[in-house]
Structure 1
Amino acid sequence: MKILDWYILKRYLLTFLMMLLLFIPIGITVNLAEKIGKILEKEVPFGEVVLFYLDFTVYFAHLLFPLFLFLSVIFFTSKLANNTEVIAFLSSGVSFSRFLRPYMIGATVVAILALILGMYLAPEASKGFNDFDYKYFKNNKKAVETGSVYRQINDHDFIYVSSFDAKKRMGQNFTLEHVVDNKMVYKMSARNIRYIEKDSVYRMVDYVKRIIGENNDEFITQRRKDTIFSFDLEDLTPLEYIAETLTYSDLNQFIEKEKERGSSSIGRYELVKYRKWSLPVSVYILTIIAVAVSSKKRRGGMGVNLAFGVSIAMVFVFFDKIFGVMAEQSDFSPLVAVWFPNIIFGVLAAYLLYHARR
């Protein structure tokens, strides 16, 4: 590798690292300032606070990964251009494609890091982050309860809860319907159902079982009933962040399981799955756009490049969010929703790169 390659690659990675080190402490400070009162009020152990902010660091970095990368490339490339270093490189006979090569090597390093982060580290961090958040900060009922759940858990059984408290592991207004050949055989209901981890059983309060007969129905009632069901606790808790807390292999298994049960949230889960692959690709696209935009020396200096770069980043995030919401709330394909922004900005990257070479 030539001196030029090492020079640019080192600046690429160091500037990206410095951008992370600059913004992550700001994010931690803002979050801590917002929650320090509750932390002190609840006397949260110091060790748990440290672990929470370690998870927060990974969660925050993964969330804003493309933006940090884009701004860091624009920043140091604009600096090279303002110091006429880019002109010196190209005037020495180096083609623009050759000038771009160390950027692509750096993008490969960052893309691999983004892939590992998205597949394994970010899900664990997201789980720790959300668990801590629910445990200490979301005390009101609306914060810890999900909406109603109705799903098929096997060929014959359907379950329903009007809401589920993730903190207490308790569902309200539980029913289980057992259907054979489109006819209900029996129906269980309870005012609430709670998972008792110590005994690995579900405890139902105000339990009623109605057995459907040809002429008369039989009712069995108990004030409290402990039993074992074939469904898992997660079947009652389709928390919005559940897909984000699963590693890639676990997420694939979870999606297949949800498809078999006819879940209405498949689009949301597949969106998370496809984003794990689209993020590393966006690293290359944003790197090319950033280099093409900032490699020319402009009259306004670095500020113009940064302003233009921030504008492009905001449009990228806007497209990503809009299509993400469409996939979650409608039948719009999650695959198209995830990859469409990359395709649009890939075309933009090719256009800007063509004119930058000229």
Structure 2
Amino acid sequence: MLSILDKYILKRYLATFSLMLLLFIPIGIMVNLAEQIGKMIDNEAPLNEILIYYLNFTIYIGNLLFPIFLFLSVIFFTSKLANNTEIVAILSSGVSYGRFLRPYLIGASIIAVLMFFMTMFIVPSASLGFNEFKFKYLKKGKQDRITTNIFNQLNERDFIYVSSFDPARQLGNNFTFERFDDKNELEFKIAAANIRWVEKDSTYRLTSYSKRTIKGDTALIESKRRLDTLFPFKINDLTQVSYVAETKNLYELDAFIKSQRRKGASNINTYVLVKYKRWALPLTAFILTIIAVAVSSVKRRGGMGVNLAFGILVAFVFVFFDKVFGTLAEQSGFSPLLAVVIPNVLFGALALYLLQNAKR
């Protein structure tokens, strides 16, 4: 059963967090609208798509800033409790600091469950709509995927390569398709100046086509100026959009990562990093809550302003570490798991240190 103290702090915790979301997300929408309205008008974005975009924007940005809003809201209302000497009265009545912390951890648990559910199942759909609108109307003409030197392993035997790919025209240049036998020896190789998906006929059109088939010590060469044929892949398998992992829910992302590992995707770390970050987000809620309570539960000469300033500094340092290690994982061989674990371990240690000081 929750005591009066638990209900009092938990109510303030959830109410301040909700108020923070209601105050800052509309401001974010207004700022984004002011920046992008010209592009929306120039590219003739329909009103209904704009409304759906801002619904997706609310979910996408809200999830992105969840930890920061949580952190600042806990600092805000706990500082008010400290300035009103309510915390001194609570602790003087015989309540231990650990008991005082309990409603905060209950609140963090509620937020963590909400964050987990949203991140795994709701945000991916919003991310898809958000990014599709962005590249259709706000970044029109800009590429949303890798378009040069694309190598992909379709399965254990088949490999494809194009030197460049134009998603708008569904055209790839300098195309090769290689198949290996069970002994890992080349069975045949198809090469073409370009490959184009012909949607009307549901076929691939190869220009300057040649096929080299290996049979023992003999190589058979076949060539044609143009050939319409079928392949065991979709044209978009040549390259995925840069935000593809963000658009997949918990189960879809696991299946997608497995398929990309099987294909030998070069940017697999990017997808794995998204997965680990999702799982770590609820843990982040607890770490930031403990840091916020430890920092703001002590009454300071500068009042709430000092606590908020320190809180904002810690929040930005956390984001900085998260981005640095995330970039390392995406652009080098650094482990995605370590990229997620290291910032949380560092700030978890900081949380324990600050908590011990606050208890004293």
Q: Specify if TM > 0.5.
A: yes
Q: Secondary structure at the match of 2:70?
A: helix
Between the aligned partners of 2:171 and 2:60, the Cα distance in structure 1 is 28
2:83 corresponds to which letter in structure 1?
Answer: N
Between the aligned partners of 2:168 and 2:64, the Cα distance in structure 1 is 25
Q: Secondary structure at the match of 1:40?
A: helix
Bigger drift between 315-324 and 166-175 goes to 166-175
Q: What residue number does 2:327 align with? A: 325
Would the aligned equivalents of 1:134 and 1:144 in 2 still touch at CA under 8 Å? no
1:113-124 matched pairs, under 5 angstroms: 113-124=114-125
Q: Secondary structure at the match of 2:226?
A: strand
Would the aligned equivalents of 2:290 and 2:351 in 1 still touch at CA under 8 Å? yes
Would the aligned equivalents of 2:152 and 2:160 in 1 still touch at CA under 8 Å? yes
Q: Secondary structure at the match of 1:162?
A: strand
**Deviations 1:229-282 (Å, cap 9, x if unpaired)?**
222445212322111111111111111112222222222111111111101001
Q: What residue number does 2:27 align with? A: 26
For 2:224, which of 214, 221, 224 is the aligned residue? 221
Q: Secondary structure at the match of 2:222?
A: strand
Query: 1:283, CA displacement in angstroms?
Result: 0.2
Q: What residue number does 1:260 align with? A: 262
Query: 1:223, CA displacement in angstroms?
Result: 3.5
Would the aligned equivalents of 1:126 and 1:244 in 2 still touch at CA under 8 Å? yes
Bigger drift between 290-299 and 340-349 goes to 340-349
Between the aligned partners of 2:89 and 2:205, the Cα distance in structure 1 is 76
1:187-202 matched pairs, under 5 angstroms: 187-195=189-197, 201-202=202-203
Between the aligned partners of 2:8 and 2:170, the Cα distance in structure 1 is 55
Query: 1:97, CA displacement in angstroms?
Result: 1.1
1:336 aligns with 2:338: yes
Contiguous gaps of at least 5 residues in structure 2: none
Would the aligned equivalents of 2:145 and 2:240 in 1 still touch at CA under 8 Å? no
Q: What residue number does 1:353 align with? A: 355
2:254 corresponds to which letter in structure 1?
Answer: N
Would the aligned equivalents of 1:288 and 1:349 in 2 still touch at CA under 8 Å? yes
1:133 aligns with 2:134: yes
Would the aligned equivalents of 1:154 and 1:261 in 2 still touch at CA under 8 Å? yes
Between the aligned partners of 2:193 and 2:139, the Cα distance in structure 1 is 24
Between the aligned partners of 1:28 and 1:306, the Cα distance in structure 2 is 24
Contiguous gaps of at least 5 residues in structure 1: none
TM-score by length of 2: 0.92
2:187 corresponds to which letter in structure 1?
Answer: V
Between the aligned partners of 1:134 and 1:168, the Cα distance in structure 2 is 16
Identity within the alignment, % = 55
TM-score by length of 1: 0.92
Would the aligned equivalents of 1:204 and 1:224 in 2 still touch at CA under 8 Å? yes
1:204 corresponds to which letter in structure 2?
Answer: R
Would the aligned equivalents of 1:192 and 1:205 in 2 still touch at CA under 8 Å? yes
Would the aligned equivalents of 2:144 and 2:242 in 1 still touch at CA under 8 Å? no
Between the aligned partners of 1:356 and 1:59, the Cα distance in structure 2 is 35
2:357 corresponds to which letter in structure 1?
Answer: H
1:177 aligns with 2:150: no
2:223 corresponds to which letter in structure 1?
Answer: I
Would the aligned equivalents of 1:81 and 1:294 in 2 still touch at CA under 8 Å? yes
